[in-house]
Amino acid sequence: MNWSERISVASLTVIVIAVAIFDLRERRIPNLIVMPASLLGLFLHTFESGWMGLIFSLKGLGLGFAILLIPYLVKGMKAGDVKFMMAIGSFVGAAATVRVLLITLLCYPILAAIVVIREKKLVITWLRFRRILFNFFGFFVSIFQLYAMRLENSDDASIASAATPFGVAIAIGTLISIYTGFLKSIL
């Protein structure tokens, strides 16, 4: 690993830890961290490899945006998560961005389970999960739609769902990706 790769890895490590801490405490990801991080990733690759480095970094940034755009549009996550993934992509490039996302998606259910149990919302979460699942199946078999409506009637809308900070899962996925060879052989 040369000096610029070390600077890149160290910078990215500090950034993802800072974002994870902020997301845990505030339940949001600040532009003040992720926007300069994106620029730093672009700069470091451009400085080391010129136009090819810039293209490498832009591909990662663009892919980070593209893979989380749909979940953002359907309100499955906030814009900060998308911008955070873009910043990571600017550091690691397109292929590693996919690896980070896959590892993140493996880590997220564990993190979500911890949050649900910690906030004592296991029963309401299970009810809402079943309602969403049966609504989906209801598109194919109408009896499932009836069961989903029954579940909806037993839901207490005044109880907020457990909020899991996706930025923390992204940070964990990033750190596992850059410090281990996990999933590297398939991507």
Tell me the pLDDT band of 187, cut-offs 50, 70 and 90.
low
Give me the helix-helix angle, 3-26 and 31-73, nearest 10°.
70
* Token code pair at residue 183: 């999933």
Higher pLDDT, 172 or 3: 172
pLDDT, average across residues 29-37? 97
pLDDT in tens, 69-104: 999 998 888 999 999 999 999 999 999 999 999 999
Is 141 exposed, middle or buried, given 0-12, 13-18 or 19+ CB atoms closer than 10 A? exposed
User: Does the pTM of the predicted model rise above 0.95?
Assistant: no
pLDDT at 59: 98
The domains of the chain are located at: 3-110+164-179, 120-161
pLDDT in tens, 106-138: 999 999 999 999 999 998 999 988 988 898 888
Kindly give, in sequence order, each residue whose CB lies less than 8 Å from that of residue 84, ignoring residues fewer than 6 positions away: 19, 29, 34, 167, 170
pLDDT at 160 over 90: no
